[in-house]
Amino acid sequence: MNKIFNHHLKIWKWAAGLLPFLAGCESLTEINQNPNDLTDERVNPAYVLTSVVTGSATALSDVSFSGNVTQSVISEAMQYTQRDFLEFSVSNQFGWYPVSFDYRSLHQPLSNAAYLGRRAAGNADSLFLKGASLTMQAMWFGIQTSLWGDVPYREANQGTANLQPAFDPQKDVFIGIITDLDKANAYLKQAGTVKSSVLSQADLLFKGDVLKWRKFANSLRLRFMMRLSEKLGDAGLDVKAEFSKMVADPSNYPLMTASEDNAAISYPGTNTIDAWRMGALLKPTLSEFYRIKAGATMIDFLKNQDDPRLTVWFRPVEVQTLVRDKGAETVFAKDEGSGDVKRYIKSYQQGIDTSLYVGLKIALVNPDIYNENIAAHRTEALKLNSAIYNSGAANPFVSYLSPMFRENTHPLVKTVFMSAAEVNFILAEAAVKGWIAANAENFYWQGIAASLTQYGIADGDVKQYNKVTHVRQQFDLKAFESRMRALFNQAPDKTEEILTQKWASSFTTLESWFDWRRTGYPDIAGNIISGSQGKKIPVRYIFGESEINYNTDH
């Protein structure tokens, strides 16, 4: 690689102040050169670290939640959301497109992370750079092998020295990255601190906090060891013993346990480079946003548990349907109290959802008309409130995503590499398996609590939906905790209960799909109405043509 890649070495605008320093102590003439024309040895590794982190955020966001249907289909597969208007047969009914393993946005962050490790030699912060490099490589190798199965690992990232790398068995990839993460923790522990202030500023993930990097690396290691939990006999690694050793030694293996440790990237939202991927800067057409609706499985789960995340993640329907005799069969009128438009029907009709939060049923043949969404009814509603959305993908009788997902920047909208919620659920599952001597119930609750904190929910917040009165009320954290603990203690299958709550907390990420494939939990396949393979959910991405065309040896 003679020149630094273009797009993925652009940094968020809020880090642009770093650029004059990234070439190190060089002359003004050298500093003013175009960074895209700098050769390898001239680019400060701090600049590369920024690229690795921001490029990873962009790529992971697109594949897990914010991308189009050629990129993002897992949210629909896991029934968090459903699409309508266009392309719903691809996402809702699993008509997935092939995706090449070397697809640029998914491979580039991994390649850049490997390059970061090569640039560590001779740097005053070489140990930190090696640790960060191995951590990010492990994350991406783990994602890739989880998406496709067998992928290049041992021969990957060799550039022109090997353009046709061999594919390694998935088990070997996991064992390799588990080993790499152990090395990453050792490098980071030995590093202690980041010496360069420029490097600390360029670290948009943890601001040079080495302890948080160690927590991230070790938590990823637990993630991938748990992913091997169903194959202990042929894993080639004593996963149970290694897992137990780590949890029993927090000084040598610190873990993420609180939301402030989350590995997550915010979006400044000042331009198309640093804006959230679903915001107006990158998706100016409203229909692109509104065609993503809440999934009934997620909505019903949150409503049934009186979970306040419902009102944070999703929007109330613009027009609620209520069963009231107003004379005619269907009457539109404004509510005297709230002023909101309501659709009143004289008697209940099969299939009509009268909640204030309504999700699309899963894999409908025609989701556009769900909940009696017909043009004449939208016209009547618009007469009472012209602000009701009525362009492409309009359905005022079904919940859209929360408006925060339409903003270019929002403090709660981030790309999450890994969260404390996930780690606590992993520990809860390990306790149930007998891998660690710990209270599974406490880890289970701490996982839920960490997710609430992640989304800014605190005791007393007016964020809990009352299913009877259809209004928001104050959230009682203690009462909620009591209900959640009771659910756990009453559950006949503790692992299923843990994985179901973990599924909810994994909203906007890929992790629940990987967990579902490993365990079958949560049991959601039965919700599928008209899937392309009946009640089956896909278990792998489809390899694209690049592997056939350009890696013929393997």
Per-residue DSSP letters for 401-421?
Answer: BPGGGGSS--TT--EEEE-HH
> In the predicted model, is pLDDT for residue 241 greater than 90?
yes
In the chain, the largest separation of any two C-alpha atoms, in whole Å, equals 82
pLDDT of residue 104: 66
pLDDT of residue 31: 34
CA distance 136 to 132: 6
Asked if residue 408 lies in contact with residue 283, where contact means CB atoms within 8 angstroms, the answer is: no
Residue 170: CB partners within 8 Å, gap ≥ 6? 145, 149, 150, 151
Q: Which of 316, 398, 405 is nearest to 66 (CA)?
A: 405
CB atoms within 10 A of CB 235: 17
Count Cα atoms within 13 angstroms, Cβ side, for 356. 17
pLDDT of residue 545: 80
CA distance 94 to 86: 14
> In the predicted model, is pLDDT for residue 370 greater than 80?
yes
Asked if residue 436 lies in contact with residue 427, where contact means CB atoms within 8 angstroms, the answer is: yes
pLDDT of residue 106: 84
CB atoms within 10 A of CB 386: 8
What is the average per-residue pLDDT within 142-162? 91
Instruction: List phi, psi (to 5°) of 527.
Output: -80, -15
H-helix or E-strand spanning residue 318: none
pLDDT of residue 2: 36
> In the predicted model, is pLDDT for residue 548 greater than 90?
no
- Secondary structure, 3-state, 521-553: CCCCHHHCCCECCECCCCCCCCECHHHHHHCCC
Asked if residue 134 lies in contact with residue 187, where contact means CB atoms within 8 angstroms, the answer is: yes
User: In which band, very low, low, confident or very high, does the pLDDT at 462 lie, cut at 50, 70 and 90?
Assistant: very high
Asked if residue 94 lies in contact with residue 531, where contact means CB atoms within 8 angstroms, the answer is: yes
Residue 241: CB partners within 8 Å, gap ≥ 6? none
Q: Is 465 helix (H, G, I), strand (E, B) or coil?
A: strand
What is the average per-residue pLDDT within 198-208? 97
Residue 271: CB partners within 8 Å, gap ≥ 6? 13, 281
What is the average per-residue pLDDT within 354-361? 98
Residue 548: CB partners within 8 Å, gap ≥ 6? none
> In the predicted model, is pLDDT for residue 29 greater than 90?
no
Question: CB burial class (10 A; 0-12, 13-18, 19+) of residue 234?
Answer: exposed
pLDDT tens digit string along 88-117? 999 999 999 998 877 666 889 999 999 999
What is the average per-residue pLDDT within 185-195? 98
CA distance 85 to 426: 37
Strands 341-345 and 330-334: antiparallel
Domains of the chain from N-terminus onward: 7-278+542-550 (1.25.40.390), 286-402 (no CATH), 422-511 (1.20.120.840)
CA distance 339 to 384: 10
> In the predicted model, is pLDDT for residue 13 greater than 80?
no
> In the predicted model, is pLDDT for residue 26 greater than 60?
no
| Range with the poorest average pLDDT among 327-331, 366-370, 543-547 | 543-547
Sheet holding 330-334: strands in order across?
320-323, 341-345, 330-334
Q: For the chain, what is the mean pLDDT?
A: 91
What is the average per-residue pLDDT within 160-182? 93
- Secondary structure, 3-state, 242-293: HHHHHHCCCCCCCCCCCHHHCEEECCCCCCCCCCCCCCCCCCCCHHHHHCEE
pLDDT of residue 39: 64
> In the predicted model, is pLDDT for residue 495 greater than 90?
yes
Instruction: List phi, psi (to 5°) of 441.
Output: -60, -40
Asked if residue 174 lies in contact with residue 227, where contact means CB atoms within 8 angstroms, the answer is: yes
pLDDT tens digit string along 112-143? 999 999 999 999 999 999 999 999 999 999 99
pLDDT of residue 27: 31
Residue 28: CB partners within 8 Å, gap ≥ 6? none
> In the predicted model, is pLDDT for residue 263 greater than 60?
yes
CA distance 439 to 29: 61
Instruction: Give the CA radius of gyration of the chain.
Output: 25
> In the predicted model, is pLDDT for residue 4 greater than 80?
no
pLDDT of residue 43: 83
- Enumerate helices (H) and strands (E) in the chain, giving the number of each: 20, 9
CA distance 363 to 524: 12
Q: Which residue has the tokens 């809702």?
A: 92
Instruction: List phi, psi (to 5°) of 346.
Output: -65, -40
pLDDT of residue 232: 74
Instruction: List phi, psi (to 5°) of 319.
Output: -135, 110
Asked if residue 38 lies in contact with residue 23, where contact means CB atoms within 8 angstroms, the answer is: yes
Q: Which residue has the tokens 């480079």?
A: 273
| Range with the poorest average pLDDT among 97-106, 333-342, 422-431 | 97-106
pLDDT of residue 226: 97
Which one is predicted more confidently, 35 or 201? 201
pLDDT tens digit string along 499-523? 999 999 999 999 999 999 999 999 9
> In the predicted model, is pLDDT for residue 8 greater than 70?
no
Question: CB burial class (10 A; 0-12, 13-18, 19+) of residue 468?
Answer: exposed
> In the predicted model, is pLDDT for residue 419 greater than 50?
yes
pLDDT of residue 38: 57
What is the average per-residue pLDDT within 473-493? 98
